[in-house]
Chains A and B, each alone.
Chain A
Amino acid sequence: MISRKLYNRISLLRKERDISRKDLAEKIGVNFQTVGYLEREEYNPSLDLAFKISEYFNLPVEFIFSTKPMKPLSQELYDKTKNQ
């Protein structure tokens, strides 16, 4: 079965919070290489791992993962303020 590509904001969130790949990997219980694969969107995480990541960043899963390419956060923020 070929699964759909999942897009994510892991790299952005990790850099924003100044966490190394190794630290994040330790917190979510994977090898640090796996974090690299996740950030490059070359590996789709399991539901359990996706929830672990969302719990770690304290953000909803749908904010971190998407089946469609994600807009840059600045763009999203701008759109939100424009609509308000």
Chain B
Amino acid sequence: MDRNIPIQNRRTGVLINYFALIMALIFFELTKYGIGLSHWAGFTLVGFFLFILILSFVFVYVKSGLWRLTHKKTKNLDEREIQVVTHAIRISYSIFAIVVIILVYLFAILGIGTIDVVIAASLLYLAHIIPASILAWTEKEVY
């Protein structure tokens, strides 16, 4: 807990985490609809990207303490932490709203099936992860 994770490593971790999430989702949907990949190959790739997702999640959000910081009760934060977490949550709300709107319109206009439980779970994960990602991207010191 006393080792500062350099900002460059955190940013790389955030990018890897989002990339893994998107790739896992794409391969899951492709495999579900039987486009291009066999079931076995598709789910192996989904598993691979899920592994990367978990690994980067632990490195960027759990080890750095950012997950705990963004999920702590306000009474357990000091005034600067309240300020940065509130700011991150405010930005996250806009980002999340835009992502959801794009996704809903994409599914409605293109008629590519329904928003299934996996996409819903990914959105839930995203909602929790965006504030921590913003802090991982911007904070100078993270322990």
Contacts and interface: CB of A to CB of B under 8 A. Distances in A.
A50 B140 CA distance: 22
A43 to B, nearest CB: 5
B78 A37 contact: no
A47 to B, nearest CB: 11
Interface in B48-105: 77-81
Nearest to A43: B80
B143 A33 contact: yes
Interface of B: 77-81, 140-141, 143
Interface of A: 29-31, 33-34, 36-37, 42-43, 45-46, 49
24 contacts: A29-B78, A30-B78, A30-B79, A30-B80, A31-B77, A31-B78, A31-B80, A31-B81, A33-B80, A33-B141, A33-B143, A34-B78, A34-B79, A34-B80, A34-B81, A36-B141, A37-B80, A37-B140, A37-B141, A42-B140, A43-B80, A45-B79, A46-B79, A49-B79
